[in-house]
Structure 1
Amino acid sequence: MTADIAGPRSLLRRLRELMAGSQSAEVRLDRITTLIASNMVAEVCSIYVARTGERLELFATEGLNKSAVHDTVLQVGEGLVGLIAEEAQSLAISDAQAHPRFAYRPETGEEAYHSFLGVPVLRSGHTLGVLVVQNVRPRDYEDEEVEALETIAMVIAEMVATGDLGEFAAVRETDPRHVHAYSARGTVLSDGIALGRAVLHEPRVEVEQIIAEDIDSERLRLERALEGLRQSIDRMLASPEVARGGEHRDVLEAYRMFAQDRGWARSLTEAVEKGLTAEAAVQRVQSEARARMLRQTDPYLRERLHDLDDLARRLLRHLAGRGETVSTDELVDNAILIARNMGPAELLDYDHTKVRGLIIEETSPTSHVTIVARALGLPAVGGFDGIAELVDQGDAVIVDGEVGDVHIRPTADIEAAYQDKVRFRARRQAQYAKLRDVPTMTSDGVPIELGINAGLLVDLPHLDDSGASGIGLFRTELQFMIASKFPRLAEQERHYRAVLDAAGDRPVVFRSLDIGSDKVVPFMQRSKEDNPALGWRALRFALTRPGLLRLQLRALLRAAAGRHLRLMFPLVAEIGEFVEARSHVEHELKALKDRGGAVPEHISLGVMIEVPALLWQLDRLLPQVDFAAVGSNDLLQYLFASDRGHPLLAERYDPLSVPVLRALRHILEAGERAGVPISLCGEMAGRPLEALALLGLGFRQISVAPANIGPVKAMILATSLAGVSDEVARLMDSDAPTIRQGLADFAGRHNIPV
């Protein structure tokens, strides 16, 4: 006899009533199996639950021997029930005992039953159990019956996930990383340690209602949400930061393909028509897809799982009427933000008084969201594939920005150890604070100019807090990167004047607009480039947009009226580029004087040394500039032909390798011949060991992230310059490819904190 499939919605309503009951979990499970058996016109309905150790335990039954409950246990892969759990796929056969995987258990009394229909109970693609119906007579189950039982299994899975089934809920996730303490090591992005609660940058939507009240209404909600999803993806693809191409665009193109897939939309609609809410339909279809893809061996197909998960989350947020990211109201105190990827403007949108740390799956130590994290003093780590899938909103999280570790739901002893570590860091920071007013001078009396790198107004208080000598690099592009529209002349002028006012009589070195490559401004359309880091960016971009460059120069000249303006140009590849940029400064200065405007008391123009070709032009270039600064981030990526933003390459090449140090020594020697001061403002200056090597090479001016002032200054005060210079020279002449270990040994012998 065929089941009455006209009534699956009625069955779902009756299940909901059972779920709301006050009976014990065992009583409700028994009633659920009786209800399903009756609706499916089956003599048997049984629920098997996944237990630890890859076991499946008979938890409730209608039709089999009651004494077998909790006594019958199968291994995953054993028998028909084990086969369903292993493959996460439904199985319908007319003669179960003839199947080669049939496993007879005499205590159940199932020898009288022939036909068998079993479906997995899935949650997030993981098998929580198996739901089975059986009949005495051989029969072929209709597709509608299979789908109805799959829908019921999803309802049971949600009951498990929400704790409605008591002891059953203890096994709601089979991935131990999702319920137990989980630790992993990634890449350090920003120094510091933070303990707090997880806040998902793109939060998941919890499905609260499973069974639909009004099918037509749910179908309409689904259609509107799908259309909203497609439109939002189209808008993102049309945005300037995505339109130029790259991996982000490739991902969104894949999203658009999936979102337009008729088969996906049809599966969602069919789930709604079977009685589920639109949210529950999305969760069911995605859980089934996830189960299939988790069992794939093809790495490409498994990689697409992240895309489908993300797409399903986006659709759920559209259904819930939420934005793409967490709202301000949802942000808790001591928040640890967790994101797949994030732009600098997105991080700045958060209330930084509540954010304590940051975990990003895809980024590198020199990305601009990392720079913003450092400016805000946020401990940050990256390089954790899929970690957002293992964290729930509100989970306890520890971010260790010293070594790159994260701890999700840490055990009590781990948490206690980190609380001790935080107290130790606080004492160490207090020691650094005592050095704030101590002159930055080596132990043998050589003064060192130690400035900070900045780019945002939130950086400016660090000048006084750290005792820095000034701002060795002010990245003017960050104002453009976080703005929703182009900053006008008056706005730029106010911004630069605020920086100079905060610095007082301390020097500020502005870098002209450096956009392109990984530095995208949201209001400017860019053409696609195969190699954006080698393309239309920085000064070469500005020289082809003279109006943009001159507007910035005009704002800087006006802001620095009566003061000393120090300005350097990025990514100079040949002397002619600097000469042309200087001519624009002269033109704007003359125009300002002609209009009777106040002008700077003194102007110093410099270049950033980042392009290797410039190393063989220094003797002709340096006599024409007032100063120069090595931009080690770009110089190193060009020397090694290694994308600094690539997570797999971020730490592959050592800044203390001998070729790098020889290039830096060559620059310093050219500066000495020309009588031009040379500074270094890249990330390597912010690490005490690398900074020690720079002192040994001959650098006397370096600038670092504000958080690194204390450790680098402590190193400088403990260093005898004569001794380290001799040691660096000796190590560079050795056969070792890097001086890292040798210099670390030297620092240890001389009690230099690195």
Structure 2
Amino acid sequence: MYKGIAVSPGVVVGVAYCLDGPLGQSEVRKLPDEAAIPEELERFDRALRLAAEDLDLIVAKVAVQIGGEESDIFRSHLQILRDPSLLAKVHEGIKGARLTAPSALQAVLKEYASVFARSGQELFQERMADLRDVFARITAHLDASPAVDPALAGLGSDEPIVLVTHEILPSQAISLGEMPIAGIVTEVGGGTSHAAILSRSRGIPAVSGAAGIIGQARTGDQIVIDGRDGIVVLRPDAEMLVAYRKMQRDFFELKDRLVINRDQPACLSDGTLVELLANVNTVADAATASGVGASGVGLYRTEYLFLTHPDVPDEEEQYENYRKVVEAAPDRTATIRTLDLGGDKTVPYLGRQHEANPFMGWRSIRLSFEHPKFFEVQIRAILRAARHGKVSILFPMITTLEELRHVNRLVDEARRNLKRAGIPYGEDVKTGVMIEVPAAALCIEALLQETDFISIGSNDLIQYLVAADRDNPKVAHLCDPLSPAVLRMLRMVFDACRRTGTPVTLCGEMAGQPRSVLVLLGLGLRRFSMSPAFVPTIKTLLSSVSTPQAERFTHQVLQLKTRDEIRRYLTERLHEISKDLELFDFT
């Protein structure tokens, strides 16, 4: 059994198809003499042109079939193809070291891999997949072979297949949508990789970070993916196979049943109304939110727009992107979060610096304050997009009242500048604070006096509260949303919001976890924002529990002293309410 990272939800029982090792490794080859260099350079340039033609077609295809945001991934590949410094390195390998074009590409790739690995940041290492993808495409044209790995193109079996490989490149993820792939298991990659985003868009269950599986799996092996919590089982025994097949069948049958309820109101069994919103990264995600019954977009993460661009998107690009999100959102309602880069998400054009602990350092709103011109451009673009719907602006990682006052001044200044320039913008735009730093939660009373609303980013709030990196397997167990300390801090924040009448939304992972939702309801929360995939599940849960029930559950939970006691108690209550919904609990 392997414990990895849940990248794309779903339970799958299938047959493994293995691609061995990291893609693109080959022996180094040299040209016979200097006379061969001009011809090799010409061969390389021709392959570049053909690769660019490929990418132009893919951009158009992906934009139509999936969405404009996903097609931006391949636009970024075109930028890599045209990067003069990168191409100069390949040319130097051919001319200076007399390498063949494929070997020169491999040498440059190895150099970048070394630099990115030393950075220690997951996102840099994930971006290597994009470089490998582009280089593989060029190499394919150098060798007159298909751009996508022939092994993938040859998957024509009628039986569902689970692809097991070191990593999936973005262009392969696109091709997999047209093949009988039931699931994907990779040794590397994470939830922010482009391949992960594409897998979710395609609805392909996936688990990454299953270290060592390549050395053990063989093509034809029975394999199980539990995408709810990142579990992979290789060659399950008969008893386990029966259990997982039932889980797979139940999962998909229940998923189909839950979607039928998407048009029903989100309310408790006693009629208490609850608002279910969607967390989205792309325009396509916002459109998906409408299809699952969400009442709006509770969190639009703008950083994914920046991550797929070679330079800072200008005001018009940002405005068009935000406008499309608002127009695609249910009821044209969207909360747009300003740039939340840093930590595990960085871009070279905003400057990079080594930090011993990047999650505690130069990130999020702190980075925006460091680049006031870029920040004003983003605020202006959001204000302009607000003409097309009901838009709120959310500021991440606010820690102090001084920061809140500063950001409010910047918003006022952006409004004045737009008015002075005669540029139309939305007049009634609420601004809010994301509570994800314990210091902000402890000073919540002061913050509530100067903000329109708050959203709780439970993922970061929890890891900062317990001083544990949620991505570190040695301490990740401490990042438990059901720990007594977390629940007490949330109660403190909710109580303060109730006293002041301030709207509050929770938009972390626990908003889509049934056991956590039971407690949050009892604490008084009535606005949840989650992955669109979880909306039907939570809507069904709401209809199965009353306000007095939830309050009774929560009263009992707050008397318990350990997370294990809380977990056991809530598991029993969830089982009483609905055995089916246990299948969707990720807590």
TM range (shorter): 0.7 to 0.9
Q: Is the CA contact 2:16–2:218 (under 8 Å) kept in the aligned structure 1?
A: no
TM-aligned CA distance change 1:382 to 1:232, over 3 Å = closer
TM-score norm. by structure 1 comes to: 0.59
Displacement of 1:547: 1.1
Give the one of 578, 582, 593 matched to 2:408: 582
Q: Does 1:198 align with 2:25?
A: no
Structure 1 residues 740 and 409: CA distance shift in structure 2, 3 A:
closer
Partners of 2:172 and 2:266 lie apart in 1 by: 33
2:335 to 497, 506, 509: 509
Deviation, structure 1 residue 669: 1.0
Distance in 2 separating the partners of 1:628 and 1:392: 50
Matched, 1:730 2:551: no
Quick check: 349-358 or 502-511, which moved more? Answer: 349-358
Pair 1:554-2:380 in alignment:
yes
Q: Which amino acid in 1 is paired with 2:542?
A: I
Overall identity of the aligned pairs, in %: 32
> 1:127-164 deviations in whole A, cap 9, x for unaligned?
xxxxxxxxxxxxxxxxxxxxxxxxxxxxxxxxxxxxxx
CA distance 1:486–1:725, change in 2 (3 Å)? same
Counterpart amino acid of residue 235 in structure 1: Y
Number of the residue aligned with 1:740: 567
Instruction: Work out which of the two has the higher radius of gyration on C-alpha atoms and give 1 or 2.
Output: 1
Unpaired runs of at least 5, structure 2: 37-93, 127-131, 583-587
Does residue 1:447 correspond to 2:273, yes or no?
yes
From 430, 435, 449, the counterpart of 1:623: 449
In the alignment, the residues of structure 1 paired with residue 114 and residue 560 of structure 2 have an alpha-carbon distance, to the nearest angstrom, of 52
AA aligned opposite 2:17: A
2:322 to 484, 496, 515: 496
Tell me the alpha carbon deviations over residues 518-560 of structure 1, each in whole angstroms, 9 at most, x when there is no partner.
Answer: 0122544411111000010000100110111111112112222
Quick one: distance in 2 between partners of 1:503 and 1:251? 32
C-alpha displacement of 1:653:
3.4
Partner of 1:230: 107
SS in 2 for 1:661: helix
Aligned length: 500
Aligned equivalents of 1:249, 1:443: Cα separation in 2: 43
Give the superposition deviation at 1:616: 2.3
2:148 aligned to 299, 317, 327, which one?
327
Match of 1:718 among 539, 544, 552: 544
C-alpha separation in 2, matches of 1:381 and 1:494: 33
Output the CA distance in 2 between the equivalents of 1:436 and 1:550.
38
Distance in 1, matches of 2:188 and 2:104, equals 29
Report if the CA contact (8 A) 2:121-2:344 is conserved: no
Stretches of structure 1 lacking an aligned partner (at least 5 in a row): 1-182, 253-310
CA contact (8 A) 1:187 1:404 kept: yes
The CA distance in 2 between the partners of 1:668 and 1:650, in whole Å, is: 26
CA distance in 2, matches of 1:366, 1:695: 30
Deviation sequence 1:291-339 (CA, Å, 0-9, x none): xxxxxxxxxxxxxxxxxxxx9xx99x9899689x982766446774545
Equivalent residue runs for 1:123-202 within 5 Å: 184-194=2-12, 195=14, 198=17, 200=19
Find the residue that maps to 1:533 and give its secondary structure: helix
The one-letter amino acid paired with 2:372 is: P
- 2:73 aligned partner: none
Deviations 1:98-126 (A, max 9, x none): xxxxxxxxxxxxxxxxxxxxxxxxxxxxx
What is the deviation of 1:385?
1.8
**Alpha-carbon separation, structure 2, partners of 1:461 and 1:350:** 22
Amino acid at match of 1:476: T
AA aligned opposite 1:193: V
Tell me what 1:698 maps to. 524
The answer to whether the Cα contact below 8 Å between 2:210 and 2:232 also exists between their aligned partners in 1 is: no
AA partner of residue 109 (structure 2): S
Does the C-alpha gap of structure 1 residues 374 and 562 become closer, same or farther in structure 2, counting only changes over 3 Å? closer
Report if aligned partners of 1:364, 1:645 keep a CA contact under 8 Å in 2: no
Name which of 408, 412, 435 aligns with 1:609: 435
Residues 372/201 of structure 1: CA separation in 2 closer, same or farther (3 Å cut): farther
Q: Contact conserved, 1:452 with 1:473, CA < 8 A, in 2? A: yes
Q: CA deviation at 1:406?
A: 2.8
Which amino acid is the alignment partner of residue 347 of structure 2? V
Q: Deviations over 1:349-378 (max 9, x none)?
A: 666455653323356678897666545533
Would the alpha carbon gap of residues 248 and 714 (structure 1) be closer, same or farther in structure 2, given more than 3 Å must change?
A: closer
- CA–CA separation in structure 1 for the residues paired with 2:351 and 2:318: 21
Distance across 1 between alignment mates of 2:195 and 2:493: 30
Report how far residue 244 of structure 1 moved.
7.8
| Residue of structure 1 aligned with 2:120, choices 246, 271, 288 | 246
Q: CA deviation at 1:625?
A: 0.7
Partner residue in 2 for 1:676: 502
Matching residue of 1:647? 473
Q: 1:580 to 1:403 in 2, by over 3 A?
A: closer
The offset of 1:570, in angstroms, is 0.3
In the alignment, is the contact (CA less than 8 A) between 1:359 and 1:382 conserved in 2? yes
- Equivalent pair of 1:188/1:403 in contact (CA under 8 Å): yes
Query: Are 2:309 and 1:483 equivalent residues in the alignment?
Result: yes
Matched letter for residue 198 of structure 1? Y
Q: Residue type of the partner of 1:233? A: K
In the superposition, relative to structure 1, how do residues 438 and 491 fare at CA in structure 2: closer, same or farther (>3 Å)? same
Change (3 A) 1:604 1:673: same
Secondary structure of the 1:435 match is: helix
Secondary structure of the 2:387 match is coil
Alignment-derived partner of residue 689 in structure 1: 515
> Aligned to 1:450, what secondary structure does the other structure show?
strand
8 Å Cα contact 1:472-1:508 kept in structure 2: yes
Q: Give the conservation status (yes or no) of the 8 Å contact 1:364–1:646.
A: no
Offset at residue 416 of structure 1 (A): 8.2
Q: Distance in 2 between matches of 1:673 and 1:516?
A: 34
Per the TM alignment, residue 184 of structure 1 is displaced from its structure 2 partner at its CA by 4.1
Match of 1:471 in 2: 297
1:336-485 equivalences in 2 (<5 Å): 336=162, 338=164, 340=166, 352-354=177-179, 356-362=182-188, 373-374=199-200, 376-391=202-217, 398-402=224-228, 404-408=230-234, 421-485=247-311
Task: Give the aligned residue type for 1:747.
Answer: L
Query: Quick one: structure 1 residues 372 and 725, their matched pair in 2 at CA, closer, same or farther if it must change by over 3 Å?
Result: farther
Residues of 1 paired with 2:222 and 2:451: CA distance?
53
AA matched with 1:192: G
- Aligned match of 1:133: none
Q: 1:372 to 1:631 in 2, by over 3 A?
A: farther
Task: For 1:406 and 1:370, locate their aligned partners in 2 and report how far apart those are by CA, in whole Å.
Answer: 17
- Equivalent residues of 1:367, 1:645 under 8 A apart: no
Structure 1 residue 588 displacement after superposition = 1.4
Task: Give runs of aligned pairs for residues 591-602 of structure 1, distance below 5 A.
Answer: 591-602=417-428
Asked whether the 8 Å contact 1:374–1:707 carries over to 2, the reply is no
Cα distance, 1:473–1:495 mapped onto 2, change above 3 Å: same
- Closer, same or farther: CA 248–503 of 1 in aligned 2, 3 Å: closer
Structure number with higher helix proportion:
2
The 1:204/1:365 distance shift into structure 2, 3 A limit, reads: closer
- Does the 8 A contact of 2:187 with 2:209 survive in 1? yes
- Residues 593/187 of structure 1: CA separation in 2 closer, same or farther (3 Å cut): closer
Distance 2:274 2:424 in 1: 33
Tell me the distance in 2 between the aligned counterparts of 1:592 and 1:737: 50
Distance in 1 between residues matched to 2:234 and 2:418, nearest whole Å: 58
Pairwise CA RMSD: 4.1
Summarize the Cα distance change of 1:741–1:368 in structure 2 as closer, same or farther, 3 Å threshold: farther
Corresponding residue number in structure 2 for 1:275? none
1:748–1:249 Cα change, 3 Å: closer
